[in-house]
Amino acid sequence: MWTLQLLAVALVTWAMGAAYTLHVNPEIAFFRRAYELKQQWFADLSREHTNKTVVFGGSSCLTSIVPERLMERHGLAVANEGLGAAMGARVLTRYAFESLRAGDMLIVALEPDLLSGAVDLEPLGVQFAFATRQSALLRGTSGVNWPSALVDLRPGGYHVFTLIGKILLRQPLYRYAPTEIEAGGWHNVAARRDLGTPGVPSVRLSNAGREWLRMIRDECARRQVRVAVTMPWHFCVPENLRATQRANLRFLRDVVEVLPVLREPSLGAHAVREHFADTNMHPTADAAALRTDEFAAALKAWSVWTVAEMDAQLAALE
């Protein structure tokens, strides 16, 4: 009897946590709104264009690529399927795959950190999949571990404690508001924070990340989709510009052995502090326009790096 009571309490507690996560959690509400606007934009693109470009990644993609500007200024039909890096590369990639048709182009704009370790299902990705009724996003080569996925619907301890703190301090429950999501699902970040002095990155492609890129390559070949990688912009102080570009190029040198990499002059490094909002990978609206224009030029030119060219550029940046 005691065991049954404990089980009942556990089930009720889980159900309450899952209900909060899917219907109340402000972070999930934010991403649900982004999803709705992306779906609307995608439907419009599909009606008006035979083929399109799909770009995906975490919040650096969500905040950097402005689909409306790409259409109006550059004549490019682009769906920005960026969401949040905390969802993990698995869910972000599979979400982008849902938008692809034969003849499309796929641009991988994943943050390097997502490819530097294991490529696992993350709780936020699981929660997003359930909140948008897309359980297919959770499937892997061996199916779905449903018990683990269902457990991930509960709010984590860190979330609960920070939420209580925000309530007590009368602060906003989430840094971002759904109203900041604009046409095409682009996030125009309103928050501002001191970025300090970020160091030079030292991220390298992991074996798991390499395998994930191979999966993307093979799946795109099967679907008859052209694919390439772009490096997200991130802020660096001017004195670290060359070192940051060199570090980014080292990461891309690993990537180019699996997937083509678009040739872009910034190499993912941007040294204007005022062009970033609340993190060193979230540009302001003005900077997002600049990043979008650079991306448009690279997309139109479709000039990709060779290994030899990357090696020569690395030597030049030493």
Q: Give the separation between CA 219 and CA 214, rounded to whole angstroms.
A: 8
- pLDDT for 169 equals 66
- pLDDT for 135 equals 86
Give the pLDDT band of residue 144 (cuts 50, 70, 90): low
Q: Quick one: average pLDDT of 80-102?
A: 96
The fraction of the chain above a pLDDT of 70, given in percent, is 86
| Tokens matching residue 298 | 């690279």
Query: What is the domain count for the chain?
Result: 1
Q: Quick one: average pLDDT of 34-51?
A: 93
pLDDT of 13 over the 90 cut: no
Taking only the tens place, the pLDDT of each residue in 224-243 is 999 999 999 999 999 999 99
Return the number of other C-beta atoms located less than 10 Å from residue 173's C-beta: 13
pLDDT of 86 over the 80 cut: yes
- CA distances for 221 relative to 78, 126, 170, 184, 259, angstroms: 20, 27, 51, 27, 11
Whole-model pTM? 0.93
Q: What is the pLDDT of the chain when averaged over all its residues?
A: 90
Return the number of other C-beta atoms located less than 10 Å from residue 160's C-beta: 13
| Tokens matching residue 226 | 């052209």
- pLDDT for 141 equals 53
- pLDDT for 154 equals 74
Of 107, 121, 126, the closest CA to residue 60 belongs to 107
pLDDT of 164 over the 70 cut: no
| Tokens matching residue 317 | 């940046």
Taking only the tens place, the pLDDT of each residue in 205-219 is 999 999 999 999 999
Give the pLDDT band of residue 158 (cuts 50, 70, 90): low
Q: Give me the amino acid identity at 112.
A: P
Highest mean pLDDT among 9-23, 86-100, 155-169: 86-100
Give the pLDDT band of residue 2 (cuts 50, 70, 90): low
**In this structure, is the dihedral angle defined by the CA atoms of residues 118, 119, 121 and 123, taken in order, positive or negative?**
positive
Q: What domain range includes position 64?
A: 2-317
Taking only the tens place, the pLDDT of each residue in 114-129 is 999 999 999 999 999 9
Say which range, 122-131, 141-150, 177-186, has the weakest mean pLDDT: 141-150
Buried b (16+ CB within 10 A) or exposed e, 247-276: bbbbbbbbbbebbbbbbbebbbbbbeeebb
Taking only the tens place, the pLDDT of each residue in 57-70 is 999 999 999 999 99
